[in-house]
């Protein structure tokens, strides 16, 4: 098979079916041909299934990642001081970016981040930011880079020009039952990070009921694969494994999560959300050589520097800083109540996310409108003592729309019983 762009798709499928490793040239030809329409969708689907069954070697996964990253435009952040990025594998009540970005910027890093919108039960960072009146998440390239330089933070919607081959593969994976493959997941995530141009990356890899990876072992395997891809590509990558069995924060829903992020930035909220932010920011900035000690990161959060930077960032993107304390929250309230007295042993994050989606806070397909004002605020966490009938959460809804479905999703989502020992939110750090 010569590197003349004359790739025979059947040869590539058969080679992978036999368990052979592809070279970077073969992958570049094959993916390139598929982007030109010279490989049929059913051939690409057959190849994807062969990858799911046979896997990929580390160097092969790294090559695929680079080919996907090279398929479109790439951001050049080299002129910016300490360009860093963070990626989360998704979760519920996960508002870390909103705190981490201004915190990292306050300590000298540049967070120039292209972010997606939420799908399913996890809200996207862009959706959350758009609950701030006036905030615009559509920045032209020049304005994006200028703001990154001046403010230290710029977050813009992901353009279709970034790793377009990954978008094409992903749409097919979704439709052909080939999503669950560590090489395919890792290369998909990391291709967008390579194209995004940051030199230091921290990965927030979730494990548990509300996460894509349900077990810590699967989450670790994914984290290790992504760290190895980064090493091949010359990035410094660290990964933090954290628990996503119960929602990370107490708020689930866009405006509600922004309100909670603000509480963390103001030093009013302590708990797992703050802890994950501190660990991620410390690992990210230590890898970039900007801080030595975690106490430096805590200081920048506690003394208001991160809050000040958040307000500058919001203002730079057209957001009304004065409106941060009166974000539009859906006006009607209902309660999800404890079915028994005892200790909360489990709160199923996925069910809470699903409940909020049913109120109108989630998308089932791209392009769906989202109600940014609905959501849930948890009053109890795992390990807390509750009484029967006491509210476990307040649901913010609009005139009952989706409320029945939301309460049905929450039915049985909490387990209450004998006291249990609670575990820290961070499982381990991979460097």
pLDDT in tens, 135-149: 999 999 999 999 999
Q: Is 75 exposed, middle or buried (0-12, 13-18, 19+ CB in 10 A)?
A: buried
Of 206, 217, 237, which is closest to residue 94 (Cα–Cα)?
A: 206
Q: Model confidence over 350-407: pLDDT tens digits?
A: 999 999 999 999 887 777 889 999 999 999 999 999 999 999 999 999 999 999 999 9
Fold of 9-55: 1.20.970
Of 236, 238, 259, 239, which is closest to residue 249 (Cα–Cα)?
A: 259
pLDDT interval class at 29 (50, 70, 90):
very high
Kind plus residue range of the DSSP H or E element containing 337: strand 332-337
pLDDT of residue 91 exceeding 90 = no
Q: Which two tokens stand for residue 272?
A: 């797992």
Q: Model confidence over 231-240: pLDDT tens digits?
A: 999 999 999 9
Over residues 315-344, the mean pLDDT reads 98
Cα–Cα dist 81/109, whole Å: 6
Q: Model confidence over 95-108: pLDDT tens digits?
A: 999 999 999 999 99
Kind plus residue range of the DSSP H or E element containing 169: helix 164-176
Cα–Cα dist 219/217, whole Å: 5
**Neighbour tally for 364: CB within 10 Å:** 8
Contacts of 419 (CB under 8 A, 6+ apart): 342, 343, 383, 385
pLDDT interval class at 212 (50, 70, 90):
confident
Which is higher by pLDDT, 157 or 356? 356
Active centre residues (catalytic): 87, 166, 173, 188, 192
Residue 363: per-residue pLDDT = 80
Contacts of 225 (CB under 8 A, 6+ apart): 58, 61, 182, 183, 185, 186
Give first-to-last CA distance, the chain, whole Å: 38
Over residues 162-180, the mean pLDDT reads 91
What pTM was computed for the model?
0.94
Contact 365, 348 (CB under 8 A): no
Share of the chain above pLDDT 90, in %: 87
Cα–Cα dist 149/407, whole Å: 46
3-state secondary structure of 394: strand
Contact 151, 158 (CB under 8 A): no
Contact 277, 99 (CB under 8 A): yes
Q: Could you give the dihedral angle defined by the CA atoms of residues 266, 93, 85 and 88, in that order, rounded to the nearest 10 degrees?
A: 160
Residue 303: per-residue pLDDT = 97
Share of the chain above pLDDT 70, in %: 97
Residue 2: per-residue pLDDT = 40
- Kindly report the CA angle at 365 between 364 and 371, in degrees rounded to 5? 60
Beta strands in 217-263 (DSSP E): 236-243, 251-252
Residue 153: per-residue pLDDT = 98
Fold of 332-417: Aldehyde Oxidoreductase; domain 3 (3.90.1170)
Cα–Cα dist 48/129, whole Å: 35
Three-state secondary structure of 97-166: HHHHHHHHHHCCCEEEEEECCCEECECCHHHHHCCCCCCCCCCCHHHHHHHHHHHCEEEEECCCCECHHH
Q: Report whether CATH 3.40.1030.10 matches the domain 83-324.
A: yes
Cα–Cα dist 97/207, whole Å: 18
Contact 176, 48 (CB under 8 A): yes
Of 248, 273, 252, 243, which is closest to residue 353 (Cα–Cα)?
A: 252
- Residues in a beta bridge with 207: 243
Which is higher by pLDDT, 120 or 249? 249
Q: Could you give the dihedral angle defined by the CA atoms of residues 74, 77, 79 and 83, in that order, rounded to the nearest 10 degrees?
A: -160
Average pLDDT, the chain: 94
pLDDT of residue 1 exceeding 50 = no
- Write down the domain spans for the chain: 9-55, 83-324, 332-417
Cα–Cα dist 249/252, whole Å: 7
Residue 114: per-residue pLDDT = 84
């Amino acid at each position: 098979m010569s590197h003349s762009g004359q790739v025979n798709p059947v040869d590539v499928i058969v080679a992978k079916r036999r368990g052979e490793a592809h070279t970077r040239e073969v992958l570049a030809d094959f993916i390139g041909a598929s982007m030109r329409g010279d490989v049929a969708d059913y051939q690409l689907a057959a190849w994807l299934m062969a990858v799911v069954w046979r896997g990929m070697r580390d160097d092969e996964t790294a090559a695929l990642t680079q080919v996907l990253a090279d398929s479109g435009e790439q951001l050049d952040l080299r002129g910016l001081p300490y360009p860093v990025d963070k990626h989360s594998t998704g979760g519920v009540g996960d508002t870390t970016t909103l705190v981490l970005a201004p915190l990292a910027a306050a300590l000298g890093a540049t967070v120039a981040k292209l972010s997606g919108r939420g799908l399913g039960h996890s809200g996207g960072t862009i959706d959350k930011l758009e609950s701030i009146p006036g905030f615009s998440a559509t920045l032209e390239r020049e304005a994006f880079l200028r703001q990154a330089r001046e403010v230290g933070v710029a977050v813009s919607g992901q353009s279709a020009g970034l790793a377009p081959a990954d978008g094409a593969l992903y749409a097919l994976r979704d439709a052909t039952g080939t999503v669950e493959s560590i090489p395919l997941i890792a290369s998909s995530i990391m291709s967008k990070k390579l194209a995004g141009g940051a030199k230091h990356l921290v990965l927030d890899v979730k494990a548990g009921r509300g996460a894509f990876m349900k077990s810590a072992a699967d989450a670790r395997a994914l984290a290790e694969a992504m760290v190895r891809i980064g090493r091949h590509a010359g990035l410094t990558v660290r990964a933090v494994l954290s628990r996503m069995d119960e929602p990370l924060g107490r708020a689930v829903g866009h405006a509600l999560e922004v309100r909670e992020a603000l509480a963390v930035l103001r030093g009013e909220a302590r708990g797992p959300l703050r802890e994950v932010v501190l660990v991620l920011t410390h690992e990210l900035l230590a890898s970039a050589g900007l801080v030595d000690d975690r106490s430096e990161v805590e200081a920048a959060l506690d003394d208001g520097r991160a809050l000040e930077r958040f307000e500058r960032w919001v203002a730079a993107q057209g957001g009304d800083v004065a409106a941060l304390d009166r974000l539009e929250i859906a006006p009607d309230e209902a309660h999800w109540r404890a079915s028994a007295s005892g200790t909360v042993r489990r709160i199923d994050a996925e069910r809470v996310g699903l409940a909020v989606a049913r109120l109108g806070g989630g998308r089932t397909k791209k392009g769906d409108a989202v109600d940014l004002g609905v959501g849930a605020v948890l009053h109890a966490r795992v390990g807390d003592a509750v009484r029967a009938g006491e509210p476990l959460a307040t649901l913010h809804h609009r005139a009952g729309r989706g409320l029945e479905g939301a309460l049905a999703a929450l039915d049985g989502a909490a387990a209450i019983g004998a006291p249990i020992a609670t575990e820290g939110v961070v499982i381990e750090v991979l460097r």
